[in-house]
Chain A
Amino acid sequence: MQSPPNSEVRVEVRSTIDIVTARQQGREQAMALGLSSAEVTLVAAAISEIARNILDHAKRGEVVFSFVQRGSQRGLQVAANDQGPGIADIGLAMQYGYSTRRGLGVGLPGAKWLMDEFEIESAVGKGTKVTMRKWVKDENSQLNHSR
């Protein structure tokens, strides 16, 4: 298994084309980390939703990928940052089916389900930061270490 690079990978999100770029970058990172193909797809779908959320609400922002470690666990962290209007009621925004625009209202809550961890910070007038992580499952690593 290759050792995760220390550097972060950033993808600017300014138009819908960038959603595809962010997704592909995320897919590459997730595969490099050793996530299963099913999980890679889940991560890519989650990235798609949060990148879209940036465009819908802040017009522009960035998605940042990095490898993280907690104890013996390794994971992929995906952060979506924007300097948009921010979210006044995070609880409401995270409600499934709630949408401020013509969307399905599944974006943020949907992404939360696809990932292992999901955090959201937002300040009105300042912007929103969504941080989510997917951990490499213990089973996989146990399998790799089995005799």
Chain B
Amino acid sequence: MKGNPELNVNRPKAHRKAEITRQDPSASDNSNMPQVKLQPTVNYSDPLLRELVSHLRENRTQLREVWARNILDAKLLSAMSKEEIFSEVTSVYDNYVEVLETGSVDALQAYARNLSERIIPRGVETDEVIGIVLLLRDVLARSLFKKYQHDFNLLNRVLDAYEPAANRIANTVAVSFVQENVRIIRQQQEAIRELSTPVLQVRERLLILPIIGVIDSQRAKQLTEQLLRGIRNNRAKVVVVDITGVPTIDSTVANHLVQTVEASRLMGAGVIITGLSSEIAQTLVTIGVDLSKMNAVGDLQGGIELAEKMLGYKVKSVDSTAAEVEIDT
């Protein structure tokens, strides 16, 4: 199977995507958000911070533009258009100043999550997001440097007040982005695990259903329905169900497996089960599953070989020359 580049994954991609987005984003609340504690001693009533805020407000237009240009020069957020970057930059800038003023990162956090949700699907990477926040930090620090360079002492104090706040902001944005990313990946994994055990067509008339992970009743039903549709759509005659990746099986699931085999047979397809560990085989015998009804073969390779023999034999009866070819390969 490994060497076969023509694996035909049956499940349409669009469908998978629809499943992924179905979960309500508010369901994963931020209660378990790891609060990164960097320099927790930001004193937001510091008069220096207030002075800083008014400086950033006064120079909003100019600083914002410098920042946007730096982002473009650094080729960050390349998935977005110039206009989009500029509009996001404005929002981030205003949120940024607000954090410095109020000390509350709530609004920024909400915005960063929202932004992440919008840009992750477009392929924006974590380093880009961290990059733009660090650029802003840099732009603002330079402007402070320029303003206070005549008084080295004052500059030091301003930077002392600014840096912890800026770090906190950078952290908030980066963590929000990473969390959003993790949430999306988790959702995708879950959706893939739950809904898309792929039915693979290895060659004409032969399907493989590799089952990975824990099977419960609900999933077993889904798998069976999917397999039966796959049999009809691919006109399959033999199906190899590989359960190497299934850790345990209880009696309910074992019965589902037997049902899958029988339902496939009703549609005229033979089923071969592979990867039945001795532990699972023992369980099946103990709970009284009739293994003689199942065509069990040790591993996937052996299962595919047997499947091809079965197909070859069946083809032979229709057209003996085709069968020779089939068996010899």
Q: Do chains A and B touch in the complex (CB under 8 A)?
A: yes
Give residues in A with beta carbon < 8 Å to B: 38, 139, 142-143, 146-147
Q: A142 contacts which chain B residues (CB < 8 A)?
A: 22-24
Contact status B225-A143, CB under 8 Å: no
Of the A-B pairs whose beta carbons lie under 8 Å apart in the complex, a sample of 13, sorted by A's number, is: A38-B225, A139-B22, A142-B22, A142-B23, A142-B24, A143-B18, A143-B19, A143-B22, A146-B18, A146-B21, A146-B22, A146-B23, A147-B21
Give residues in B with beta carbon < 8 Å to A: 18-19, 21-24, 225
Q: B18 contacts which chain A residues (CB < 8 A)?
A: 143, 146
Say whether chain A's binding surface is mostly helix, strand, loop, or mixed: helix
Would you give the shortest CB distance from A44 to chain B, in whole angstroms?
16
Pair count A-B, CB < 8 A: 13
Q: A146 contacts which chain B residues (CB < 8 A)?
A: 18, 21-23
Q: A38 contacts which chain B residues (CB < 8 A)?
A: 225
In Å, the complex CA distance between A143 and B191 comes to: 13
Most A CB contacts (10 A, CB to CB) among B18, B21, B22 go to B22
In Å, the complex CA distance between A146 and B26 comes to: 12
In Å, the complex CA distance between A142 and B225 comes to: 20
Q: Beyond A38-B225, A143-B18: 11 further Cβ-contacts under 8 Å?
A: A139-B22, A142-B22, A142-B23, A142-B24, A143-B19, A143-B22, A146-B18, A146-B21, A146-B22, A146-B23, A147-B21
| Closest chain A residue, CB of each to CB of B228 | A38
6 closest Cβ pairs, A-B complex: A146-B22, A142-B22, A143-B22, A38-B225, A146-B21, A147-B21
In Å, the complex CA distance between A45 and B18 comes to: 30
In Å, the complex CA distance between A142 and B23 comes to: 7
| Closest chain B residue, CB of each to CB of A143 | B22
In Å, the complex CA distance between A93 and B225 comes to: 29
Q: B24 contacts which chain A residues (CB < 8 A)?
A: 142
In Å, the complex CA distance between A147 and B27 comes to: 14
